[in-house]
Amino acid sequence: MRNSSNIPLSPLPRSFYTRPTLRVAKELLGKLFVRVFDDGIMAGRIVEVEAYCMNDPASHSYRGRTQRNDVMFWEGGHLYVYFTYGMHYCANVVTNVEGQGEAVLIRAVEPLLGLEHMLKNRFSRPRTLTSNHLLNLTNGPAKVCQAFSITKAENGYDLTNSPIFLTEPLTNQKFSICSTSRIGIRNGVEKKWRFYMKNNPWVSI
């Protein structure tokens, strides 16, 4: 199935997500993050992620299942959205089997479709388009959520059966994967579980 933008509207299957988290995290790079609206479509190529696992002191799931992190423990292929720093949302792809509190944070995407709408969501004032605006659109986890209008309302969405989903890229482009310590954490810094495309302009740091 295709829409007018020629994007294949085939969500990645459940089996993609219900695998070991580090493996899924690396394979998420290059996939398309898509949201379908009544009046259009938004899409970006995933260029930066971070894995959060069980028994990982940096993970929200580390201290057990709570109301906030409940979705992390669902079956892989759901969307875990959390609120942080009093004003920001961040979106994660839940991974592994039910009962494992694991997920992959979407830290940055390269905007592909629906740029006008993303710009409107990110920058309230109308302004002329510059390369800086484009680079600032989706180069961080909270920026991605603002651009795609993702809030608490989308927490728990099924990525195999909802207006938010992932698809294979239209063309397979080659890229190198870099891995570093995760950003903005205090515990678990020794784990190199941040993965990003080398030299992609939308990588956050």
Q: Is 120 in the site for DNA (CB under 7 A)?
A: no
Q: Is 195 in the site for DNA (CB under 7 A)?
A: no
Q: Is 119 in the site for DNA (CB under 7 A)?
A: no
Query: Using an 8 Å Cβ cutoff, are 42 and 167 in contact?
Result: no
> In 56-192, which ranges are continuous DSSP H helix?
115-122, 131-135, 141-147
Q: Is 25 in the site for DNA (CB under 7 A)?
A: no
Residue 148: DSSP 8-state:
T
Q: How far is the CB of 4 from DNA (least distance, A)?
A: 30
Q: Which stretch binds DNA (CB under 7 A): 22-30, 52-60, 113-121, 161-169?
A: 52-60
Q: Is 128 in the site for DNA (CB under 7 A)?
A: no
Q: Is 50 in the site for DNA (CB under 7 A)?
A: yes
Residue 158: DSSP 8-state:
B
Nearest to 184 by CA among 46, 33, 48: 48
Q: Is 86 in the site for DNA (CB under 7 A)?
A: yes
Q: Which stretch binds DNA (CB under 7 A): 17-25, 28-36, 166-174, 182-190?
A: 182-190
Q: Is 191 in the site for DNA (CB under 7 A)?
A: no
Q: Is 136 in the site for DNA (CB under 7 A)?
A: yes
CA atoms of 178 and 73, how far apart (whole Å): 28
**What count of other Cβ atoms lies within 10 Å of the Cβ of residue 98?**
11
Burial label, 140 (beta-carbon count in 10 A; 0-12, 13-18, 19+) = buried
Q: Is 187 in the site for DNA (CB under 7 A)?
A: yes
Q: Is 55 in the site for DNA (CB under 7 A)?
A: no
Q: How far is the CB of 132 from DNA (least distance, A)?
A: 10
Query: Using an 8 Å Cβ cutoff, are 108 and 141 in contact?
Result: yes
Please give the full DSSP string across 87-101, using - where no structure is assigned. Answer: TEEEEEEE-SSTT--
Q: Give the interface with DNA as residue ranges (CB under 7 A).
A: 50, 52, 58-61, 63, 66-69, 72, 80, 82-88, 90, 92, 103, 105, 122, 136, 140-144, 182-187, 204
